[in-house]
């Protein structure tokens, strides 16, 4: 099974709201990722968790707060977002077998976020 | 800096015709290389990957790609395109868990 699931599929939130995106994988992968994708652009890496620890933060604003409760789950907590944060948020996971060069990543279907 | 280039923003192919999507990379060493496909509003699906060994790699949905070190290329091919192949295609390279994507090529399939 190479499935990564994400909830919700769609989310509309105001700039003062607090919400969370959730991601789950059951492939035994030990690395999980958050990406942001704007229309007609490739995904942009936001965060990487390796063995449930944050290993990469691509200088993402603090209004985005990631959390990895266990090896299967990844959350992205959202607070005080701006309209320009509206995008497709993708979660991915991978093994860490070829950690130095990077294993293939498996993506979820994404959460379409709209900030009003 | 490491980079991946997809020179074609969009390509139109007739259904049943062959397809080649171009990808060039610029890395210090040979990276791991991937092709992903994305349908509108969906996540990315891995088509195939190249780590080492045989330079012609087979993927899902009848796709294949050829790695050419001398040209720093990893082009995607399919002998006969189906209407359902219409999507956005991303070439990517990885290093230390970071995927570097090309800008993507939108494939349109005409009847």
* Residue of B47, B97, B107 best to disrupt the A interface, most CBs of A under 10 A: B97
SS3 A84: helix
Interval A75-94 mean pLDDT: 96
| pLDDT tens digits, one per residue of B55-103 | 999 999 999 999 999 999 999 999 999 999 999 999 999 877 789 999 9
**CB within 8 Å of chain B, chain A residues 67-106:** 88, 90, 92, 94, 96, 98-106
A66 touches chain B (CB under 8 A): no
DSSP string for residues in A50-82: ETTEEEEE-S--TTEEEEEEETTEEEEEEES--
Least Cα separation, residue A92 to chain B (angstroms): 9
Better pLDDT: B110 or B42: B110
Tens digit of each residue's pLDDT (9 = 90 or more) over A1-56: 569 999 999 999 999 899 999 999 999 999 999 999 999 999 999 999 999 999 99
Question: How many residue pairs from chains A and B have C-beta atoms closer than 8 A?
Answer: 69
Q: What is the DSSP string of B26-71?
A: E-SSPPEEEEEEE-TTS-EEEEEEE-SS-SEEE-GGG-EEEEEGGG
Rounded Cα distance between A96 and A51, Å, is 9
Contact A36, A44 (CB under 8 A): yes
Nearest by CB to residue B43, choosing from A99, A103, A110, is A110
């Amino acid at each position: 099974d190479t499935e990564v699931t994400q909830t919700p599929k769609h989310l509309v939130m105001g700039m003062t709201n607090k919400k969370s995106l959730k991601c789950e994988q059951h492939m035994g992968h030990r690395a999980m990722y958050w990406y942001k994708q704007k229309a007609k652009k490739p995904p942009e890496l936001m965060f990487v968790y390796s063995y449930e620890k944050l290993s990469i933060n691509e200088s993402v604003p603090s209004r985005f707060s990631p959390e990895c409760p266990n090896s299967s789950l990844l959350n992205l907590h959202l607070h005080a977002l701006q309209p320009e944060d509206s995008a497709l948020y993708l979660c991915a996971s991978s093994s860490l077998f070829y950690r130095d060069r990077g294993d293939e990543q498996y993506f979820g279907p994404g959460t379409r976020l709209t900030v009003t | 800096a490491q980079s991946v280039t997809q020179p074609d923003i969009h390509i139109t192919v007739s259904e049943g015709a062959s397809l080649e999507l171009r990808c060039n990379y610029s890395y210090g060493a040979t990276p791991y290389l991937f092709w992903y496909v994305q349908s509108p509003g969906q996540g990315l699906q891995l088509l195939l990957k190249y780590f080492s060994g045989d330079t012609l790699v087979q993927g899902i949905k009848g796709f294949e790609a050829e790695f050419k070190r001398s040209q720093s290329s990893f082009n995607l091919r399919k002998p006969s395109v189906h209407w359902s192949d219409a999507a956005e295609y991303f070439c990517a390279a990885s290093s230390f868990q970071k995927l570097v994507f090309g800008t993507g090529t939108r494939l349109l399939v005409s009847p």
